[in-house]
Structure 1
Amino acid sequence: MAEPANANPSLKRAVGLPLLVMYGLGSMLGAGIYGLVGEAARLMGSAIWLAFLVSMVAALLTGLSYATIASRYPRAGGAAYVTQRAYRSPLLAYLVGLAVACSGLTSIATQANVVARNLQAAFAWEGAPVALLATGFLLVLSGILLRGIRESLWANAACTVVEALGLVLVIAVGIPYWGQASLFEWPDAPAEGMAAGGGMEAAGTALLVFQGAVLTFFSFIGFEDTLNLAEEVREPERTMPAGLILSMLAATVIYMAVCVTAVSVVPWRELAAAPAPLAEVVRRAAPWFPAIGFIAVTIFAVANTALVNYVMASRLLYGMARQGLLPAALGRVHPTRHTPHVAIGVLFVIVLALAMLGNIAALASATVLLLLFVFTVVNIALVILKRRPGEPRGRFEVPAAVPALGALVCAGLILVRVTTGNILAPLIAAGLLAAILLLYLATARSRGEALREFIGGDPPA
């Protein structure tokens, strides 16, 4: 008897270059730039644009590695698949895959609470519990994901347009102020050193720029999410690298223009003290713009970040399940909607539990360290694969020096964060890795032969 055509459905290739660029841009713009400008101004003075430029170069090194990986191995599972292929270590692939998933989950939970608080402020819903509003927000997100990848990415595109228009508004109303403030005004301590002359001030300024780049590097995190859409992109060998690089360059242009505008409209010391820096820029440059309007833009930006992370995490779990690194049920695809519905449902339960914790800022900070760990491992994996005979070459390739330098940069950022920041975040990151390791050991027997077969090569089709 013939097997039904939908007995083993696959993901649908429905994503072209424009939607992929919008997805990548939306994953990076997100909510970070709306609050990061003030923190950067506190550290860098009016030279915050320089920090974004340097951090873009650092992020682009890993971005180019991811573009090469996408061209060579267009598969869902992204970093976990490449790690498994390069190191032939199920444990390391498991750590990498779930570290990425953890970063996405804590981000979604954080954004759910942010959306809830903004809804309270926008509509004077002080009596509505944050937990209830966050739950409703997560239900809406889950419904969009269950509907289909095309619907998810169109929702992403719509949110990206709104949040990008918010940033364009900031730039547009601030352009008349360009040139009215110095773009090289440093905080007091470095300025005193510069006045003294000699080499010490140059070294101090370089260190300040590097510290600023460490801070603003995190505004580019999100480009790695595109790798998990590889099985739903048309002509992925060509489309994936182009989409990833174009979205990173577009984000950089927007970031730098916003930075120049912000310090031109609001003196950097006042910008650093403002609770909502970009809202303060709009308030001064365009007092006619309603305050609730920018709150709405912020909600769209935050919701978009959550949507992008939800798509990423669901496809990551799907890909790892298909590789044999997670229970097979997570790799099931809905027969009519062609979405990983089991993975989406499991993630909803986990994220809802995280969202109920309320303040998870420390956990979110720890996941940044996990992502830098992932980037280091993946960059080294690409070096290994490029040197291994018989590995396929993609339409887009970079020299081995690029991923090698990317690994060094990411490892350096980890070192700076661990040695100069609060110890709590590294402790939480270590605790998450330990929890992933325990989960790996607890499920090792159930994976059995599937994992042993996968160590020797690609998983069965």
Structure 2
Amino acid sequence: MAAEARSAEAPALKRAVGLPLLLMYGLGSMLGAGIYGLVGEAAKLMGSAIWIAFLVSMAAALLTGLSYATIASRYPRAGGAAYVTQRAYRSPAVAYLVGLAVACSGLTSIATQANVVARNLQAAFGLEGVPPALLALGFLLILAGILLRGIKESLWANAVCTVVEAAGLLLVIAVGVPYWGSASLFDWPEGGGEATGTALLVFQGAVLTFFSFIGFEDTLNLAEEVKDPERTMPLGLILAMLIATGIYMAICVTAVSVIPWRELAAAPAPLAAVVEKAAPWFPKVGFIGITIFAVANTALVNYVMASRLLYGMAKQGLLPAPLARVHAGRQVPYVAILALLAVVIGLSLLGDVAALAAATVLLLLFVFAIVNGALVLLIRRPGEPQGRFALPWIVPAFGALVCLALIVVRVTSGNLTAPLIALGLLAAILLLYVATRKRDGDAMERFVKSDALS
């Protein structure tokens, strides 16, 4: 009775998110900074056939996206991947590893975007005399202020940024449509064209462009703040992935039609170069502004995701209990938000964290493989909730195999820097778990009690 009374008195997260805001959040998490620079990198590898790489990576991402939609319908809880893996494998260590691997990917992304925003502000407003670290710090403080204000305010800010960045992508498509059909969409770089070489390039390109679809998993951490989550979460997640795919396909065709792929691959800002050629009347500073909104949105959605992930893991007993505290007035996990702010400020001071960001895809592919495997176990386990959106177990099983295959392709592609960074981060997380845990049994007992009869 005492435990129930304490639970009833504790502030809870506010269910204020409907389908439109959730859809905008999902789109904002995918239509972020990645596509604005990734087209050029993909062109180096795939030539004008970059659309194939995006199509394959979409198929791979959609498999896991369907798994996440099922999880959201069955278990609408904050903590996302960490909650599901602990429930499936009954191992706090695995849940801890998965949860903090996702959090690490978000933190490195936020720090990277803070520095990108700082450089773009310098270029757009002539602030070369202002230290980038100071601009990055100001940006991070604004982000934290938005999150502390409330989830509805955070998602409205996300919606505004999403509209701006989507408008930027639609602008690229609109000014480039007249060029469609002027270039071959099957012009491969040297090594392509042969069946074996082409297949290898497609898989390598899919691993690279998979980054553009990363973000759909962020929606899972909003489950406790979404209205009717069993229905809204799957619908919002799948719609966001399909809309993003349509935009990406059009961007790919437009980019290689307006600018030859070799020039596109060499351009420092490929989409800005496309607009400059197709619409010279559009001011350069305008597209810099759009880029700032896109980059800021990536940081915002990662910050929301990471704060809810820490909150959910703290509720499971995997992280210190204060991280699960919710502000009585604003109904946000304020301790988690402030703790992350301190960490991200430290990371942003490193300046270039591109090496850590390069390992993000590998970390998340690893997480996706484990989460897909967890869903297979839960689907086949008697007594588990069914949810309104259901899949046969073969779909997440195939999703896990695809993620593992993409990991193998990336690890064997020659450059071992990203794999070594990813392995180092995973090892550090495990060491942190060993150093901070009391006992596995204690954590599991807290989890079981909090989850009893749910």
Q: TM-score, normalised by structure 1?
A: 0.95
Offset at 1:390? Answer: 0.7
The equivalent residue for 2:130 is: 128
Q: One-letter code of the match for 1:217?
A: F
Q: Mean alpha-carbon deviation: is it higher for 391-400 or for 293-302? A: 391-400
Q: One-letter code of the match for 2:159?
A: A
Q: Deviations along 1:302-338, whole A, 9 cap, x unmatched? A: 0000000000000000000011111110000000000
The equivalent residue for 1:296 is: 289
The equivalent residue for 2:84 is: 82
1:411 maps onto 2:404 in alignment: yes
1:251 maps onto 2:244 in alignment: yes
The equivalent residue for 1:64 is: 66
Q: One-letter code of the match for 2:145?
A: G
How many angstroms apart in 2 are the aligned matches of 1:146 and 1:421? 43
> Is the CA contact 1:55–1:213 (under 8 Å) kept in the aligned structure 2?
yes
The equivalent residue for 1:232 is: 225
How many angstroms apart in 2 are the aligned matches of 1:314 and 1:324? 16
Q: Which residue of 325, 332, 339 maps to 1:332?
A: 325
Q: Mean alpha-carbon deviation: is it higher for 205-214 or for 285-294? A: 205-214
Q: Which residue of 350, 365, 373 maps to 2:358?
A: 365
The equivalent residue for 2:343 is: 350
Classify 1:312/1:40 alpha carbon distance in 2 versus 1 (closer, same or farther; 3 Å). same
Offset at 1:430? Answer: 1.6
How many angstroms apart in 1 are the aligned matches of 2:110 and 2:359? 14
The 3-state SS of whatever aligns with 2:268 is: coil
Q: Mapping of 1:55-454 within 5 angstroms?
A: 55-190=57-192, 194=193, 201-445=194-438, 449-454=442-447
- What is the total number of aligned residue pairs between the two structures? 452
Query: Gaps spanning 5+ residues in structure 1: where?
Result: 195-200
Q: Deviations along 1:262-291, whole A, 9 cap, x unmatched? A: 111101111111111000000000000000
> Is the CA contact 1:89–1:455 (under 8 Å) kept in the aligned structure 2?
no
Q: Deviations along 1:245-277, whole A, 9 cap, x unmatched? A: 000000000001011111111011111111110
Q: One-letter code of the match for 1:424?
A: T
The equivalent residue for 1:197 is: none
> Is the CA contact 1:7–1:335 (under 8 Å) kept in the aligned structure 2?
no
The equivalent residue for 1:21 is: 23
> Is the CA contact 1:85–1:457 (under 8 Å) kept in the aligned structure 2?
no
Q: Deviations along 1:66-118, whole A, 9 cap, x unmatched? A: 00000000000000000000000000000000000000000000000000000
Q: Mean alpha-carbon deviation: is it higher for 297-306 or for 416-425? A: 416-425
Classify 1:159/1:242 alpha carbon distance in 2 versus 1 (closer, same or farther; 3 Å). same
Identity among equivalent positions (%) equals 78
Offset at 1:6? Answer: 8.5
Offset at 1:446? Answer: 7.6
How many angstroms apart in 2 are the aligned matches of 1:292 and 1:453? 53
Query: Gaps spanning 5+ residues in structure 2: where?
Result: none
Q: One-letter code of the match for 2:263?
A: E
